[in-house]
Chain A
Amino acid sequence: MDSFTQRVLDGDELAAARLMRLTDDRIKGYDAYMRNIWRHTGNAHVIGITGAPGAGKSTLVDALIYEYRSKGKTVGVVAIDPSSPFSGGAILGDRIRMSGHSNDSGVFIRSVATRGHLGGLSVSAMDIAAIMDAMGKDAVIIETVGVGQDEIEVAAVADSCVVVTVPGMGDDIQAIKAGILEIADIFVVNKADRDGVERTVKDLETMLSFTPRHRYNWTPPIIKTTASEKSGIDTLYERLEDHRSFAMSALKAEKQQARLLHAANGIIKERVFTELFHSQKLSEAIKNERNDPYTAVEKIWEQCIISTGN
């Protein structure tokens, strides 16, 4: 083991933060470190927090961090926000809600931009969660953007998936997005200080009763929270611990495998698009084939197969 990776495994903040940067930026050589890091994962309780923007995910994460810390547990947070499709820049603002932990050495928060990966969980985000796991954080919380495919993907790779909704959403059947009922291990109805909480809880219960989901013997609880007042968070913590015990026995190996597969899939896509089918090569091939995308891809494909000797 090289000394830099060892420092990360020992929990050194500077080294861990630096490796996250090398990894997020895909700086040449980063993968040599990540190979060792991934082998040291699988110990943290990986928690996905998802739900529409504005539902209160970051505020909930903030409150959960206090709860975990009060139990003596260390926490890593991967807070994902979208990159602008126009400029490629981003404002990563989840930390606004988590500012009380800046001087707590038991908490490591990292803001991550989607960098064009909208519609899924990027390999970078997975790598950063893996680094926190390998650093020895007891819980690693992944806060997603809450749109599209990333909700489904975080559910696949997290040990426990928390779906956050707010009162009023149940009024409109459309507001409960397709697939959301199936992926939640725990439902949170946040902003319970607002009107209509009971109705939303009832609506969710009804919808859940019609949702054939669990291959496993787990019924997702519905928890009311007012994250901004830190109310209901102790119950959420307990249910998370229940689910952790459940997941540890029934699912842990499967979940760790899902994470490794998800990462491997992402790595393949990245390599295919940066090394084989990068956009300049594609544009040229399309031009050469007089605007026929099928033949253009076929030509590049054949070249790749020939050059790998198959």
Chain B
Amino acid sequence: MAKVRILIAKPGLDGHDRGAKVIARTLRDAGFEVIYTGLRQTPEAIVSTAIQEDVDAIGVSILSGAHNTIFPKIVLLLKERGVNDIIVFGGGVIPDEDIPFLKSSGVSTIFTPGTSTEDVVKFVNENIKPKHAA
């Protein structure tokens, strides 16, 4: 009866959340529970929400170019609050050369434009399990 729970967040001040919504729907249709919080979330708000919802993963969509500060901030805040069982992954307009830095700061994977929705589902199926479920 355990279900994977994923927070889909869209930080930053840039306009739309079309991509984040597509991912949310894809994940729902693959049988996961998605907590969707809408636009303009700060890293602090994202982490507080992830804790209250006790999710297995946070998927962050970033178009604004602020990925090099936002991702490490989220990872750091999780650590500061004593959370070590939430996977962070991301997607959006992120240049290839930034990806090694993001991964070394604790981001599990980055989906760049052109990634198919099947790839995202495959990633979740292979890497994210409900906590505690035997």
Contacts and interface: CB of A to CB of B under 8 A. Distances in A.
Interface of A: 13-14, 17-18, 20-22, 25-28, 83-84, 86-93, 95-96, 99, 102-103, 108-111, 113, 115
Interface SS of chain B: helix, strand, loop or mixed? mixed
A25 B38 contact: no
Given A27-B133, A111-B35, A91 B28 contact: yes
Nearest to B21: A91
B28 A103 contact: no
Interface stretch (B50-58, B62-70, B93-101, B104-112): B50-58
Which interface residue of A89, A93, A99 has the most chain B CB atoms within 10 A?
A89
Nearest to A111: B35
Nearest to B85: A18
- Name the residue in B35, B51, B130, B133 with the highest tally of chain A Cβ atoms < 10 Å from its Cβ: B35
Given A20-B54, A25-B132, A102-B48, A95 B36 contact: yes
- Is chain A's interface secondary structure helix, strand, loop, or mixed overall? mixed
A91 B45 CA distance: 19
Pairs A-B, 6 closest by C-beta atoms: A102-B45, A96-B38, A25-B2, A89-B28, A17-B54, A21-B54
28 contacts: A14-B82, A14-B83, A25-B1, A25-B133, A27-B132, A28-B134, A88-B3, A89-B27, A89-B29, A89-B32, A89-B34, A91-B24, A92-B34, A92-B36, A93-B36, A93-B38, A95-B35, A95-B36, A95-B38, A96-B37, A99-B37, A99-B41, A102-B44, A102-B45, A102-B46, A103-B42, A111-B53, A113-B33
B31 interface: yes
A92 B41 contact: no
The interface size bin for chain B is 35 or more
B41 A110 contact: no
A92 B6 CA distance: 10
Contacts of B52: 13, 17, 108-110
A25 B55 CA distance: 12
A115 B3 CA distance: 9
Interface of B: 1-3, 5, 24-25, 27-38, 40-42, 44-46, 48-49, 51-54, 81-83, 130-134
A109 B45 CA distance: 12
